[in-house]
């Protein structure tokens, strides 16, 4: 189950990138004055590149089912852990940084590195991310993706239909994780800023979409 979830999350995160090129501090803005945002931008853009490159190699060059894939999955896990250590230090010192101060790519770097950590880490920093999204200082669609992933990890229905997994089907094919309000999801997606419907998103992710999808029996999932 864990491997299936990992492959699904890996594929979804990389495909979203291509499609859209798609005790925590109470304050999300940097806590220190005289912050060198240019230095932070460079570091975050590098983390973004490393995070996405290993996933590009796995999906586009190696193939998730290739005999060579395990070696690259191990490399990906190492990269994700290294990036987590770096981003944890940065977030503890500065909080989740406004996109206007570091640029879109660096802001994407924060999102992807946090998104590729674990439930406890995401839970800790998601409130800051959501706060910035509500203020126009972070991408609301990325925030929606993170919220959906948190819900999926907790075994709850997602809101925006951004997450797919291979654990819902006996043949391990991808399927959209159950949605809380299927009849209203496309209106919610449009309101938050998505330009595709959940049906179009499922096609993009090569995932089956059943509006009546039920939660699996094992409803508490962690990466």
Kindly report, residue by residue over 123-158, the tens digit of the pLDDT: 999 999 999 999 999 999 999 999 999 999 999 999
Spatial CB neighbours of 58, under 8 Å, sequence gap ≥ 6: 10, 64, 69, 72, 73, 76
Report the alpha-carbon distance of residue 166 to residue 176 in Å, rounded: 9
On the CB side of 203, CA atoms within 13 Å amount to 5
Report the alpha-carbon distance of residue 114 to residue 146 in Å, rounded: 9
Q: Which residue shows structure tokens 């043949």?
A: 171
Report the alpha-carbon distance of residue 109 to residue 41 in Å, rounded: 9
Beta bridge partners of 165: 175
Show pLDDT as tens, one digit a residue, over the chain (223 residues).
Answer: 444 445 555 555 555 555 444 444 445 555 556 899 999 999 999 999 999 999 999 989 999 889 999 999 999 999 999 999 999 999 999 999 999 999 999 999 999 999 999 999 999 999 999 999 999 999 999 999 999 999 999 999 999 999 999 999 999 999 999 999 999 999 999 999 999 999 999 999 999 999 999 999 865 554 5
């Amino acid at each position: 189950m864990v491997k299936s979830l990992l492959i699904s999350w890996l594929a979804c995160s990389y495909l979203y990138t291509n499609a859209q090129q798609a005790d925590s501090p109470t304050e999300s803005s940097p806590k220190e004055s005289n912050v060198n945002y240019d230095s932070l931008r460079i570091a975050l853009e590098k983390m973004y590149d490393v995070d996405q490159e290993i996933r590009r190699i796995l999906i586009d060059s190696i193939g998730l089912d290739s005999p060579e894939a395990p070696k690259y999955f191990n490399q990906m896990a190492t990269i994700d852990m290294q990036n987590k250590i770096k981003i944890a230090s940065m977030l503890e010192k500065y909080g989740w940084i406004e996109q206007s101060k570091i640029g879109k790519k660096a802001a994407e770097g924060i999102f992807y590195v946090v998104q590729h950590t674990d439930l406890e880490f995401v839970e800790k920093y998601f409130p800051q991310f959501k706060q910035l999204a509500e203020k126009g200082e972070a991408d609301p669609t990325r925030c929606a993706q993170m919220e959906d992933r948190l819900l999926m990890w907790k075994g709850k229905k997602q809101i925006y239909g951004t997450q797919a997994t291979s654990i819902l089907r006996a043949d391990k094919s991808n399927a959209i994780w159950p949605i809380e309000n299927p009849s209203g999801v496309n209106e919610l997606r449009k309101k938050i800023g998505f330009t595709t419907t959940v049906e179009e998103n499922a096609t993009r992710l090569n995932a089956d979409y059943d509006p009546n999808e039920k939660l699996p029996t094992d409803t508490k999932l962690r990466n």
